[in-house]
Structure 1
């Protein structure tokens, strides 16, 4: 059986209901809209949040928070992510972009302490948290700002 061989013989295609076409149709005069009022008029729609004139909920509740635009240019790297790349001794922003650890649009990176690092690395031009700095220096690494 193919889609082009299907027929609609069992269910006859119904014609569209034509409203406001006289009394005999059963949908004459008001055409199922009732008498008067906003919903009976053409274009008489009421928006979803309309509450009958009462101040709507979205205006009663206070505004809070914001979305920082810095987020596009800022990223965090965890220590264990740096430990995965064994052949890297020297780490800076361009190297992190080259190994696809961060996006090309990132301008600021902060290294945070999450996990441990077991080898000495040299970090330059990146900000580092206190805990991460301690871990790097205890492993024999250096943090240059």
Structure 2
């Protein structure tokens, strides 16, 4: 087989439709576009997404910068400044904060945030720490332990 022998398969190529060349050609007069209206005229017709003047779908839906998280993680948050009132070398957990009265309710696991200053060394056990909270606790001589 040579390159000049390569031909398309029989029946795969159809001749183009010659419209507007008389009634005997099968597509005479209106060329299959119907009688009147925007879609029968020459030119491209309407742009994609155009709905005849009705507010199109892509403008009706809400514009979101991002999709909301379906099941967001709920944390019980506490700032480093609230831990400053605890005694030195105390072990800080979610249950110990509830007993001490610093927290009154729980929404989920404990997360320590970095707002404020800490002057005492504490052993903090929480599900999550912000970077600033972890650095402040360790700078005061304490330790941070991530618990599941």
Q: TM-score, normalised by structure 2?
A: 0.47
**Bigger radius of gyration:** 2
Q: TM-score, normalised by structure 1?
A: 0.48
